[in-house]
Homo-oligomer: A and B are copies of this chain.
Amino acid sequence: MTDALAPGATIGILGGGQLGRMLALAAARLGLKCHVYDPDTGAPAAQVAAAHTHAGYDDLDALRGFAAAVDVATYEFENIPTAALDAIEAQVPIRPGRQALAVSQDRLAEKTWLSGLGLTVAPFAAVDDAAGMEAAVARIGAPSILKTRRFGYDGKGQARLHAADDAAAAWAAMNGAPSVLEGFVDFEREISVIGARAADGQIACFDPGENVHRNGILHTTTVPARVPRALATDAVLLAGRILNALDYVGVIGVELFVTPSGLVVNEIAPRVHNSGHWTQNGCLIDQFEQHVRAVAGWPLGDGSRHSDVVMTNLIGDEVFAQLGVADAGLHLYGKAEARPGRKMGHLNRIAPRA
């Protein structure tokens, strides 16, 4: 408990969306206060936090004021400008640390780093211009996916190549943004491991969940994943290697493809993760509390699973059909407007462990 925050201390959260909101609720359960930083006055997390700064990520004065008001800073998204991070870190620690952000902000850096760790990733090649695109497609082939190196999420900033002929159109769709061409991975299923590492190096991972996407957005996560026990163990050990290599503090999401030749790392997210929302109703300690505990310098909690869970995202106006649901854990994000494609909430259906 060295350097652990005392109850009543304040965690700063960069980003006030649903992840920040659920982090703030978990911190409140532990008697900790939260201060949310978000440009949007209507940010979902602001409704449940003790304090809120609404200012842009380029407003260094506001960032310094925020840092002065908190005991430690964390974040709900990885695309935070470097200057903003520098301004905060001059005053308080940022957890998870800068290496995790540097690696995960850039798909090329991420794949290069994961490969260097000896992990398997999809074949990839950097694409910075039309000539590079041609060279990349010659090497990686098709089907493949071109993705911007930065700022992509939920299928945005991506173009599929069904055949090599699609290369020019795919590159045009990137609007000149530095990109990565990723080879197609013929996977049986996608799973993810939500792992946590405390400041003292203690690691706790949740059971792997199996993810199904719709329209490029996570649709369901089912736990346990339908994989052999040995593979589930491998997945957890792999997440542990990543956590240790990054000297990580907090919760990480590791997306993995299950293939006939083993596990392929799809991507890592240095934060709580949508595919870990099942933990809220499946475990004594959920991913949000685990992250708060790590960031606060507390020991991790018991993340073992008491129930089987199917988590279903509620996208756009799907949410209205579910307000009366009684047989599931309902989690709504307090967003004013149910725009198409917007994550409005999720449902956790539980069953006794099979």
A interface residues with partner B (beta carbon < 8 Å)? 1, 4, 7-8, 21, 24-25, 28-33, 47-50, 281, 284-285, 298-302, 306-307, 319, 323-324, 326-336, 345, 348, 350, 352
Asked whether B298 lies within 8 Å of A323 as measured between CB atoms, the reply is yes
The answer to whether residues A47 and B47 also contact, given A323-B7, A329-B284 and a CB cut-off of 8 A, is: no
A51 to chain B, nearest CB (A): 9
Q: How far is B302's CA from A348's CA once the two chains are assembled, in angstroms?
A: 12
Most chain B Cβ neighbours within 10 Å, of A30, A49, A331, A334: A334
- New contact pairs (18) apart from A7-B323, A33-B47, A284-B348, CB-CB < 8 Å: A4-B323, A7-B332, A8-B336, A29-B330, A29-B331, A30-B332, A31-B334, A32-B332, A48-B48, A48-B49, A281-B284, A284-B328, A284-B329, A285-B329, A300-B326, A301-B327, A301-B329, A301-B330
Q: Offer 29 A-B interface pairs, CB within 8 angstroms, sorted by A.
A: A1-B323, A4-B324, A7-B319, A8-B334, A21-B28, A24-B48, A25-B28, A25-B29, A28-B48, A28-B334, A29-B331, A30-B330, A31-B333, A31-B335, A33-B47, A33-B334, A48-B48, A48-B50, A281-B284, A284-B329, A298-B323, A298-B324, A299-B324, A299-B326, A301-B326, A301-B327, A301-B329, A301-B330, A306-B306
CA distance A334 to B171 in the complex (A): 53
Question: What residue of chain B has the Cβ atom nearest to residue A202's Cβ?
Answer: B326
Contact partner, A25, options B25, B50, B300, B306, Cβ 8 Å: B25
A122 CB, min distance to chain B CBs, angstroms: 37
Chain B residues lying within 8 Å of A302, measured Cβ to Cβ, are: 326-328
- On chain B, the residues within 8 Å of A324 by CB distance are 1, 4, 298-299
Q: Establish whether residues A284 and B350, one from each chain, have CB atoms under 8 Å apart when the complex forms.
A: yes
- Compute how far the CA of A300 lies from the CA of B33 in the bound complex, rounded to whole angstroms: 30
User: Which residue on chain B has the smallest CB distance to residue A353?
Assistant: B352
Q: A272 → chain B, closest Cβ, in Å?
A: 15
Smallest distance from the beta carbon of A1 to chain B beta carbons, Å? 5
Task: Write the nearest CB–CB distance from A191 to chain B, whole angstroms.
Answer: 24
Residues of chain B with a CB closer than 8 A to A285's CB: 329
**Which residues from chain B contact A328 at a C-beta distance below 8 Å?**
284, 302
Which residues of chain B are within 8 angstroms of A333 by Cβ–Cβ distance? Answer: 31
Would B299 and A31 count as touching, CB distance under 8 A?
Answer: no
Which of these, B4, B21, B28, contacts A47 with CB under 8 Å? B28
- Could you tell me the distance between the alpha carbons of A32 and B334 in the complex, rounded to whole angstroms? 7
Chain B residue contacts of A329, Cβ below 8 A: 284-285, 301
On chain B, the residues within 8 Å of A30 by CB distance are 330-332
For residue A23, give the distance in angstroms from its CB to the closest CB of chain B. 12
